[in-house]
Amino acid sequence: MSTTAITAAQAWQDLGIPRSLIQDLALKILYLQGEISLRELARQMRLSYSVLDDVFQRFRKDQLCEVKGMVGSVHFITTTSAGKARAVELLTLNQYAGPAPVSLENYSKRLLEQSIRNSTVGPDDVERGFAHLVLTPQTLTQIGTAAVSGTSIFIYGPPGTGKTAIAETLPSLYHDSVWIPHAVEVDGQIITVFDSSVHEPLETKPDDEADGRWVLCKRPRLIAGGELTIEMLELQFNPVTKFYAAPLQMKANNGVLIIDDFGRQRVRPEEMLNRWIVPLDRRIDYLTLSGGKKFEIPFDLFVAFATNLEPTALVDDAFLRRIANKIKVDFVSREQFHAIFRGVCNQTGLDYDGAVVDHLIGVLGEKYKEPLRPCYARDVVRQICWGARYEGKPPQLDADSVEQACQRYFVTS
């Protein structure tokens, strides 16, 4: 994906949004700031100076602002009494006072141009990205094929087999960047999209000619677990500020959305599946403003569902058909368990001992009747380290420490 900056609009007709919206936004910011330079106002709105100079001339004509001074050729302005009254009125209708939004048309066009399906992912990327996990070549190929599709994947299997670890690693396969708008305008309403808790901006050189309404970021990566509700998939209208925040899937557009522990959310699976069927099938999402107006946006994201539950008991065949890729992650072999344990020891500074790991495998199967789950290597080593720290001595991997770790970890009848 090209990181070439989007050129800033130099005239009203190039912005793609109503002129009145820009004027109202400028007046609110001017009122809230008290006094500000025209150049700083342009910077805060992420618009070109030429556009804000036109706003300034209109404000002077309507007697909404006055000049407080000059620094060089730059005006310092403030609101008049009429400007203050008008700004207060505007703030009761909508308190948004951030960067100027982009149009829905431009947003949708940009999403398609930087589609995640256009991102290049190859075997080297997958092997490098998943090097910290012990996976079979077949599983790596399945993951890579799913990533190339840029559509969806259903990761299922017993608890403790690494499904969440696989899902959380998927975003690392994409190394390119995308442009995220601060906000989008729809029917005169503002929807904020850029979220600093979700989007990771890339360091770029300041460019006065660039359209600052867009932020260059890594491809989005968003994880939702048991806290996910159906309301989080719809526009979030704030009754106090009277503008919207984008839903999860809109923030994740052009990136990866992980639905972890699928089936255990605070909403019935059937209700959530009904919400996902059209976007997954047609790659289009429909959102509704509080007044009832519906609009569509591209649904361009790689959705990863991870679950411990049996797929056929969780969802129907119609939904499963719409999930393009399925991967079952199962218990591991003896050799794989050794490899996982060796990696955990390297990470924690423990000396790996194959004989002790063989002893652990015997204890798991004979005493606790447990299969070889990948998570047991990490969890047993943690118990050993915690126990050693409590006793004030260096951790050591031996038969005694392994058995004590299991006693603390497993529930026995």
Residue 11 maps to a domain: no
Examine the domain organization and report whether 398 and 295 are in the same domain: no
Instruction: Determine, yes or no, domain membership for 343.
Output: yes
Q: What is the DSSP letter of 210?
A: B
99 neighbors 183 (Cβ within 8 angstroms): yes
Question: Residue 1 above 50 pLDDT?
Answer: no
Residue 103 lies in a domain: no
Q: What is the residue range of 401's domain?
A: 334-409
Does residue 228 surpass a pLDDT of 90?
no
- pTM score: 0.89
Last residue of a domain, one of 307, 328, 349: 328
- Which residue, 98, 124, 141, sits at the end of a domain? 98
CATH of the domain at 276: 3.40.50.300
Asked if residue 183 and residue 132 are part of one domain, the reply reads yes
In the block, residue with structure tokens 């804000």: 52
The reply to whether 296 and 382 lie within a common domain is no
Give Rg (Cα) of the chain. Answer: 27
| Average pLDDT of the residues in 284-302 | 95
pLDDT value of residue 225: 85
Under 8 Å between Cβ of 406 and 363: yes
3-state secondary structure of 236: strand
What average pLDDT does this structure show over 367-388? 96
The structural domain count of the chain equals: 3
Instruction: With cut-offs at 50, 70 and 90, classify the pLDDT of residue 291.
Output: confident
CATH number of the domain bearing residue 405: 1.10.8
Answer yes or no: is pLDDT of 13 > 90.
no
Give the C-alpha separation, 350 to 383, whole Å. 13
Q: What angle do CA 136, 140, 144 make, to 5 degrees?
A: 170
Answer for the pair 48, 42: CB distance below 8 angstroms, yes or no: yes
Q: Looking at residue 143, what is its pLDDT? A: 96
Residue 187 lies in a domain: yes
Residue 104 lies in a domain: no
State the pLDDT at residue 227: 85
- Tell me, yes or no, whether 139 lies in a domain: yes
Q: Are residues 306 and 190 in the same domain?
A: yes
68 with 182, same domain: the answer is no
Residues 37 and 175 placed together within one structural domain of the fold: no
Taking residues 1-27, report their average pLDDT: 80
Residue 1, in any domain of the structure: no
333-361 tens-digit pLDDT: 999 999 999 999 999 999 999 999 999 99
287 within domain boundaries? yes
Could you tell me the pLDDT band of residue 3, with boundaries at 50, 70 and 90? low
**Res. 132 pLDDT band, cuts 50 70 90:** very high
pLDDT-above-90 percentage for the chain: 79
User: What per-residue confidence (pLDDT) applies to 311?
Assistant: 84
The reply to whether 240 and 292 lie within a common domain is: yes
Tell which wins on pLDDT, 75 or 145: 145
DSSP-derived 3-state class of residue 74: strand
In 72-220, beta strands by DSSP E: 74-79, 102-103, 152-156, 177-181, 183-186, 189-192, 214-218
What separation, in Å, do the N-terminal and C-terminal C-alpha atoms of the chain show? 57
Instruction: Please check whether residues 230 and 268 belong to one and the same domain.
Output: yes
Same domain, 77 and 138: no
Which pLDDT tens digit goes with each residue over 165-212?
Answer: 999 999 999 989 999 999 999 999 999 999 999 999 998 776 767 899
- Average pLDDT of the chain, as a whole number: 92
Alpha-carbon span 263 to 270, nearest angstrom: 9
Query: Strands 244-245 and 236-237, how do they pair?
Result: antiparallel
Q: What is the CATH number of the domain that holds 55?
A: 1.10.10.10
Q: Rounded to whole angstroms, what are the CA distances from 265 to 307, 326, 410?
A: 11, 20, 26
pLDDT for 208 equals 67
Q: How many whole angstroms separate alpha carbon 123 and alpha carbon 165?
A: 19
Among 328, 354, 389, identify where a domain stops: 328
Q: Is 162 left (phi over 0), alpha (psi -120 to 50) or beta?
A: left
- Once rounded to an integer, what is the mean pLDDT over residues 30-37? 94
Report the C-alpha gap between 114 and 116 in whole angstroms: 6
120 and 258 both lie in a single domain: yes
Clarify whether residues 140 and 261 are in a common domain. yes
Lowest average pLDDT, out of 108-112, 267-271, 316-320, goes to: 267-271
Number of helical (H) and strand (E) elements in the chain, helices listed first = 16, 17
Residues 181 and 283 in one domain: yes
